[in-house]
């Protein structure tokens, strides 16, 4: 491999000749061989840094044109566009497990953009610190990149995934109107419910989760940029924080604003904790929905068997013909991962000391993994399972009319205690509720038929 010599304040460093990074990136690359090639800084962060550095260059050009000249800003913005597009991803090798402020990833970005801008300009035009990092510090750029990445991924990737599954459930609700089945509480038989009502619970859960996530976004849209090292804004021109937030908004199409208190923005990660709490709520509902689906589809002969789900692949290497609810299993595993990530995010956010939190890379890594996994598993579950859910009407009807909890319909006519006696007799003697009720002398057969309508117990009029 061929190398070139780069230098920083600590001296000279050999850097691979075909890479755009510089001395500080190479030092980190060599010093933190932890999860190399696997747990690299999320590409969502790299992209966010591209937006951030482009916005900073444009703001500096307006506020300090003598320093950030038109020639420099032209080359820098072109380089930033390549970072945003992902064309330069191979030049961002650093792992999550580095300095807790993300300084090395900030410098990785500065060095790549500076060297690429110099290639574009055809001369040594830009310096990583003096130009690309102008009016900034790692301490305000990394939390800014976290917030930009979080907002973009939630709004552009997770929200569409939620909407997709919500739309599928709406369609299933309409298709299954009027189908009445046994409800279940405590995993025991309960009073009737319509299948569309059950589906509506799944749909409403997702809609509420999206609402809760949306309520967290205004806090994530407050950017730390402009606080520089400790929140005072040292070396940043007046108005830089407001202007650069506007530039980020223009570039991303999101309504970012400057954080009103930069001391808080650098040291506290409460906004991320709050937003990830909503991600955990979504994960909890995904767990519930997936479990409901696989319980209802259990069987095909010895389980509930009240719904059919798509058969996507063989389920056993030894049992021929076995098919498993694999999409449900994937969703529940993702839910567990997100719940674990929530613990990591909360613990890391609690570790801010004085003017800075130095757990930011692991917070970013876990938050963005949660968003990415949830978005992708929801789409997978929708496309490979939910869209193919169909009701097993015969099994639903059998289970409904075999349920002892239908006795609840008799409460107004024979009272709770007599209804309980009817249920116990039917169960113990393996006879119908009607036979038990008549034998006990609580109702005549004719009166029983007059008042006993399971479909109406679910609010569905029998056709």
Q: Tokens representing 214?
A: 């949306």
3-class secondary structure, 352: strand
Contact predicate 137/226, CB 8 Å: no
Residues in Cβ contact with 235 at an 8 Å cutoff, skipping those fewer than 6 apart: 135, 228
**Which secondary-structure segment (H or E) carries 183?**
strand 180-185
Q: Tokens representing 395?
A: 């099994």
Angle at 191 between CA 413 and CA 197, to 5 degrees: 130
Contact predicate 408/457, CB 8 Å: yes
Contact predicate 286/334, CB 8 Å: yes
Measured CA to CA, the distance from residue 23 to residue 146 in angstroms comes to 24
Contact predicate 151/256, CB 8 Å: yes
Contact predicate 233/316, CB 8 Å: no
Contact predicate 262/233, CB 8 Å: yes
The CB-based long-range contact list for 430-437 (8 Å cut-off, 24+ gap) reads 433/404, 433/406, 433/407, 437/410
Catalytic residues: 186, 316
The secondary structure of residue 42, as a DSSP letter, is P
The secondary structure of residue 76, as a DSSP letter, is H
Beta strands in 292-404 (DSSP E): 307-308, 352-353, 356-357, 390-391
CA 9 to chain centre: 40
Contact predicate 422/437, CB 8 Å: yes
Nearest to 321 by CA among 307, 308, 310, 311: 311
Other CB atoms within a 10 A radius of the CB of residue 41 amount to 26
């Amino acid at each position: 491999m061929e190398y070139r010599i780069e230098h920083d304040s600590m001296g000279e460093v050999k850097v691979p000749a075909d890479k755009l990074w510089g001395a500080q990136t190479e030092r980190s690359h060599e010093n933190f061989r932890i999860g190399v090639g696997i747990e690299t800084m999320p590409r969502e962060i790299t992209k966010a840094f591209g937006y951030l550095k482009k916005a900073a260059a444009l703001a500096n050009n307006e506020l300090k044109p003598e320093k950030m000249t038109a020639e420099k800003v032209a080359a820098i913005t072109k380089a930033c566009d390549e970072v945003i597009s992902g064309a330069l991803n191979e030049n961002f090798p650093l792992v999550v497990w580095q300095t807790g402020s993300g300084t090395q990833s900030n410098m990785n970005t500065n060095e790549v953009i500076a060297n690429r801008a110099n290639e574009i300009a055809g001369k040594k035009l830009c310096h990583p610190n003096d130009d690309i990092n102008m009016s900034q510090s790692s301490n305000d750029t990394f939390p800014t990149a976290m917030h930009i990445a979080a907002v973009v991924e939630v709004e552009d990737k997770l929200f569409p995934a939620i909407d997709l599954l919500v739309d599928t459930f709406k369609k299933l609700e309409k298709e299954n109107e009027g189908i009445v089945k046994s409800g279940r509480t405590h995993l025991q038989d309960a009073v009737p419910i319509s299948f569309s009502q059950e589906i509506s619970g799944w749909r409403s859960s997702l809609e509420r989760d999206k609402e809760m996530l949306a309520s967290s976004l205004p806090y994530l849209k407050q950017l730390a940029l402009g606080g520089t090292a400790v929140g005072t804004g040292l070396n940043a021109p007046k108005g830089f924080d407001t202007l650069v937030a506007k530039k980020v908004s223009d570039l991303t199409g999101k309504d970012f604003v400057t954080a009103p208190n930069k001391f808080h923005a650098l040291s506290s990660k409460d906004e991320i904790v709050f937003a990830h709490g909503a991600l955990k709520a979504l994960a909890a509902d995904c767990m519930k929905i997936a479990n409901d689906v696989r319980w209802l589809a259990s069987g095909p002969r010895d389980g509930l068997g009240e719904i059919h789900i798509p058969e996507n692949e063989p389920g056993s290497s030894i049992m021929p013909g076995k098919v498993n609810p694999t999409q449900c299993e994937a969703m529940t595993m993702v839910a567990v991962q997100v719940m674990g990530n929530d613990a990591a995010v909360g613990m890391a956010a609690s570790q801010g000391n004085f003017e800075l939190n130095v757990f930011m890379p692991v917070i970013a890594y876990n938050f963005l993994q949660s968003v990415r996994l949830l978005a992708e598993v929801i789409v997978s579950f929708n496309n490979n399972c939910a869209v193919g859910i169909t009701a097993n009407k015969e099994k639903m009807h059998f289970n409904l009319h075999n349920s002892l909890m239908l006795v609840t319909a008799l409460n107004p006519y024979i009272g709770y205690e007599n209804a309980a006696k009817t249920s116990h007799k039917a169960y113990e003697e393996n006879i119908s509720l009607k036979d038990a009720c008549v034998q006990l002398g609580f109702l005549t057969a004719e009166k029983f038929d007059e008042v006993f309508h399971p479909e109406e117990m679910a609010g569905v009029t029998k056709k």
